Every structure is written in structure tokens, then in C-alpha cells.
Structure 1
């Protein structure tokens, strides 16, 4: 009897990318809408549960798998990659501390494709310093009551739950990380995403008015929020963001390469025969592979618990964000008027690539953290 074959996450996402994501990428960008078709495919293939342990019905993937998957998605559609990344980060938070039956139930539902998650960290008053929120949790019997406003909540009202970071009910405790169902009374989304890039990520504001959350929905212990930000959320999000941006760079490079090899002059020669174009191709190829190699190596270090892992994780986003901007600008130069128009997706890659540098933690904050780390100075 022949054993059944189970496709790997890489094989699954390549199939989804070719059949669903790539054909709809331009439409998602043009219509500024959430990539519902891709998420249905993620549900049907089990990819929503990539980071859910097999114990709860998921694929049991790790951060290395996450980087590989979002890099492939990003090569075709930055919006879809970012939406999937935020769902995966929310999943990873719960997977790290499934200490209550309520949290375990979320994991089972995610694995079944029944729930889409996201992070709700950013606030207008604190900007990129999302680790010092203003929103506060108050004890109300067996519940925590949340009041405040979160901004730039990717996936927005398409999400079934969000992971919110709040000040704990007691100032001495620090921060709490809690799971909030988006259909809970008092949760309200508003606004539309009007960014120049990642136009389908549905990043909108979320108002929390007297929202009561069961204590069983606290991830970890009360006051563990800051530790979880830097030991759980940061590695997942920073590595994932690095993977997304590397995917965008690869997509722009491959678009440019295809254009210059197929664009023929009347002499029969192609754009690729021009030495200046060859120089650009060489530079783009090096930037893409350098970022990809570094990001995957950083992910391996994070998974293995290497003592230098966090330094490499932070560096990975710096490198990926710097390189994606270099690559997309060179791809625009190589493709000329065709790249500047919507005839090619180069202009979309260029617009999408701008987000990584300003998305928390921004490249400036990361440079500060990396500089302090190598100099032996505490981050805080």
C-alpha cells in the first residue's frame, strides 16, 4: 500500500501563489481590497495553520517556514504577504503560550481555517514605539476591560480576532497581551487604508470601548507583555517582514530580467545585450540573494536559540529594507517607461517596498538597537 503524500508548506504556497495570488495581484492593488481569494486558498490548504502545532491540528511550522512562505507570497503580491504575515504573527503569539483551554481553542480554529487573526499594537500617541502603549486594562471581576484606540490594524475588520498589547491593570505589572474577538461588544473598526503601497492590506483603526475580555484570553501571565514583545512577537514580525521585502525585491528583479531579455530591437538584440543593463542585473541579483541568504540564516539562528539570534534578526530587516529599495529603483530604471507605467508590476513593487522602512520597528529604531547591541549598551 502506497503511503499518502503530504505536500510541504513551500509546495502548498507555490501552488496558491501561481493559481490565486499572482493572477489577482494587480486587481488587489487597484481595487484596494483585502485578498479574500488568497485567504480562502490558505484555509483550504491548511496554510492558515502554518504556525499552529500539530497537536492542535496545524502544520507545525517554525519561523524558518514563515520566512520561506511570505517570501514566496511577497514575490507576487505584497498586500497578500503582509496580511498573511500579520495573521501568522497573531497565531505565533498564541502558539507560544497555549496555557488555557480558550487559547487552545483558538489554535484549533485557526488550523481548521475558521479564524483569521492580526496584531493590534500601534497607537497614534506612541507611533513606532508600540511597546509603550497608552491603552490600559482594568479588572472587572473575571474580565479585563479595555478602553482605547489602535491604529494601523492590518487585516482590520476582516480579522476574527486580534492580539492587543495594553498596560496591565496594575502599573507595577507592566504590559498584558490579550486575545480580543472582533465581534465582541465595544469593538469597532473605522476608516480605509489610503497608503501608496500595500493597498490591499486593510490597515485601519480599531476603537475599544468598554470591551470585556475573559482573563483566560490573557496570553502568558499578567505583566508578561513586554517580554513577549521582544521574545515572541519581534522575532516573528521582523523576520516575516524581512521575508516579505525580500520577496518584493525578487519579484521586481525577475520582472526586470524577463523584460530586458524579451524586449527586442529591430536588430534582433535585446536590452539585456547592453552592458549598462547587465550591470544593473548583476547588482539586483546580488542584493536579492544577499538579503534572502541573511534572512534565512537569521531565522535558523532564531529557531535554534543561538545566542546571537536577536542581533541577526534585527539586522535582517535592515538589510531587507535597504536592498528592496535599491532593487525596485534599479528595476524601474532598467524597465524605463514600461516600468513607470502599469504595463509592468515594477511600479507596484516600488510602492510596496516603501512600507518596510517606516513600519515599526522602523529602520532608524533598528539601527539604534543594533548599534546599542554591538556596543554592549542595554536597549532600555
Structure 2
């Protein structure tokens, strides 16, 4: 089956459970099961390992469609794909041979462990260090936020490369759940994105040295070439897909025959506001696909993504998508009104989507990215625009 066919086969399951997942604040187990059975967990797994061998454009399009049904599920899936891409591109031969076939079969969902209490969400540094134990690598890691961590079969974990390493000498290590003692250290009861169940975890265990992804101490390369671009492309696609799905439902709602009350469709003010919402989504969509194409082209040519302009474009994508998608849904709530837009149980997902998208600017904080982009602008003298 093609990726669009696989996606369409699971959307009804995601829609069926989205409201309950949000209300109960529980992980979308049934939706993830549907993704496992569909083969979508293996979308970015190369064909040689039994995967769908999907490209970045397919990843972005799939994320949008899944998010139109359930943003929590789509975000969990997109972050899993981010981990898969890193392993497929930088994992050792032994790790890829052992792990990727099970990912392709839907047996292994991978969670990301990059946060630490001492550093927050800063990606390129780590505090807790790997140590050697009987020729194996010993992991002891406390993370305050691990999306879907209670349900993952595997984890990609950032660690200081060794006990004498600097905080920026970071290694990325893969561990199967059965190789670790996993203890929950917190609970997830948030305003939105409630189905991601981003609990705190304490992890301890040993793995073979072949489970280091990329060169020891050189996580920055994996981050720049894989984890950061996949995160920003995936998040942006999810946020856009959720907002786009809301607009579809809002337009269908206001055009429903026999509707009583609500906005006057012949009003110039109503039409202007609707057009502004559409423009926010059009601009996000265009920039998303332009940056996706830029990343794809550079990968095909074997060029690094560590160019200043490329980093600006990726950061700008995350900034623009997080702000414009949220603004679009905020405006939709205003247009739909108190009973249809703001109230729970109205039949429109606007209230849930509003709360979900409020997290977008906080998910790897926009303040950090604005500052990073400002520094990059000072060194990109050519002002190379996307």
C-alpha cells in the first residue's frame, strides 16, 4: 500500500479516540496500535529492512493528515520517525540490522530522551555521563519529560560521552526497554497535548557499544543532519495539519444547510477574517514545503545541513508554524463564537486544538530559537532566503 492509503486506513481510528484521549489525558494506545498495524511506524525505514522507504515529503504530508484527526497521536508518531531517521542514517550496522526490521513490523515504538532537570530542553548539551561497565555502556539518566515514554519499546538517549567529557561532548545511545530499569518520576496533566503523556522517567541499565548512534561525543552532527530538521519539519506539519483540519470542519459547519445562528456568510467582515485564517495556513504550507525541499535536495547531493542559511530556514519554519497555526485556530474560535468555538462538546474540535497549539511555541521554546536565529543572521552576510 502507498503512504496515502496507509494513512487513510487509520484516520477513522484517530478521530474516534481523539476527544477521549484529550479528556482523560491518556496515551492514544488504540491509535498507536492502528499505526503499528498499518506499517506507518516504518515509514522512514529503508526498504532493505522491510520499511516503506518514505521520503521527507511523504513524511510531511502524512504528519499533516494524522494531525487533522488527532494532534497528540500525530506528534507522537512524528517524534518516533525523528528517532528512526537518526538510527537509519547514523546507527551502526549491527544496530540497524537488529532494530529497524522490528520498527518496520510495528513492534518497536521509539521515544526520545533529551531533557534533563539541570539544563531543561537544551538539545546539544548533557549532564549525566556514560560509564563503562564490563565492556558495556552504563546509562543512568533522569529525564523530566519523555513523550510517550511509558509505552515505548525503545529509547534514544543523550548522555555526556564519558565522565571527563565537557557538557557539549554528547553521545546519542539507543536502549531497548528490556535493557533498562524504567521508573516514572512525574505525571502529565497539561492544558493541551494531553495524549502525549509526556511523563518524567528515570532510566538505568547497560547497552553494547554498538548502540551509540553516530560518533561518540559527536551528537551535534546527528542533531544537525537528522534530529533537528526532522523535528522542525514534523512539528510544523503536525501543527499545520491540525489547524487545516479545523478550518475544514469550520467551513463545513457554517455552510451546513438549515443552520440557525452563527456568522452571516455574506458579511464582508466575516469573509475578510476567514481569508486571513486561510492566508496564515497558505503561508505555513508554502514555507514548510520549501524548507522540506531544501533539506531533501541537500541530502540527495550529499551536502551538510550545517550551513547558516539552512539553519535559519529550519528555525524560521518552527517559529512561523507555531505562531501562525495557533493564530489561525485562535481566529477560528473567534469566528465560530462562544457555543461552537469555545465550548467543549460543540462538535467542532476548536477548543481542543486551541489548547494543543498553545504548546507549540513552548515545545523547544521559541525564545531560544529567536535568539539563535538572530545570532545566525549576523553571520549569514549573503542573506540567503528560502
Settle same-fold status: TM greater than 0.5: yes
Q: Give secondary structure in 1 for the equivalent of 2:265.
A: helix
1:270 deviation in Å?
6.2
Show the counterpart of 1:375.
378
3-state SS of paired residue (1:200): helix
Q: Which of 351, 368, 376 matches 2:355?
A: 351
- Structure 1 191/128 Cα, relative in aligned 2: closer, same or farther at 3 Å? closer
RMSD, aligned CA: 2.0
**Cα gap change, 1:339/1:178 in structure 2, threshold over 3 Å: closer, same or farther?**
same
Instruction: Describe how 1:28-177 pairs up with structure 2 within 5 A.
Output: 28-169=21-162, 170-171=164-165, 174-177=169-172
Name the counterpart of 1:231.
225
Instruction: Provide the secondary structure at the position in 2 that maps to 1:59.
Output: coil
Gaps of 5+ in 1: 1-6
Cα gap change, 1:237 to 1:265, in 2 (>3 Å):
closer
For each residue in 1:163-222, what CA deviation from the matched residue of structure 2 results, as whole angstroms up to 9, or x when unmatched? 00010014169110000122324322343211111111111111023x212111111221
Deviations 1:221-277 (A, max 9, x none): 21121221222110111111111111122122222222222275669x963222222
**1:197 matched to which residue of 2?**
192
* Cα distance in 2 for residues equivalent to 1:273 and 1:30: 36
Q: Indicate how the Cα distance of structure 1 residues 315 and 266 shifts in structure 2: closer, same or farther if over 3 A, else same.
A: closer
- The aligned residue for residue 184 of structure 1 is 179
Q: Give the match for residue 4 of structure 1.
A: none
Map Cα deviations across residues 283-335 of structure 1 (whole Å, 9 max, x no partner): 11111111011111111111111764332221111110111121111011011
CA distance in 2, matches of 1:339, 1:100: 51
State how far apart, in whole Å, the 2-side matches of 1:115 and 1:187 are.
16
Counterpart of 2:369?
Answer: 366
Displacement, 1:377? 7.0
| Most deviating of 191-200 and 350-359 | 191-200
Distance 1:196 1:219 in 2: 34
Matching of residues 225-264 of structure 1 within 5 Å: 225-262=219-256
Q: 1:289 aligns with which of 272, 282, 286?
A: 282
Runs of 4+ in 1 over 4 A off after TM superposition: 263-267
Gaps of 5+ in 2: 382-386
Match of 1:333 in 2: 334
Partner Cα distance (2:312, 2:46) in 1: 26
Offset of 1:374 from its aligned partner?
A: 2.2
1:321 aligns with 2:314: no
2:254 and 2:273 map into 1 onto residues whose CA distance is: 11
The 2-side partners of 1:111 and 1:353 are apart by 30
Deviates more, 1:272-281 or 1:174-183: 272-281
- Displacement of 1:63 in angstroms is 2.3
Give me the whole-angstrom Cα distance separating, in 2, the residues matched to 1:298 and 1:33: 33
Contact 2:114 2:121 in 1 (8 A): no
Deviation larger for 231-240 or 189-198: 189-198
- Give the SS at the match of 2:178: coil
Residue 384 (structure 2) aligns with? none
Range moving further from structure 2, 60-69 or 306-315 = 306-315
Aligned-pair distance for 1:372? 1.9
Distance 2:97 2:259 in 1: 61
Sort the Cα spacing of 1:266 and 1:59 in 2 relative to 1 into closer, same or farther, 3 A.
closer
CA distance in 2 between partners of 1:153 and 1:271 (Å)? 45
Aligned pair count reads 368
Cα distance in 2 for residues equivalent to 1:89 and 1:354? 22
Whether the 8 Å contact between 1:51 and 1:58 is mirrored in structure 2 is yes
Structure 1 residues 251, 140: closer, same or farther in 2, change over 3 A?
same
The alignment's TM-score, normalised by the length of structure 1, stands at 0.91
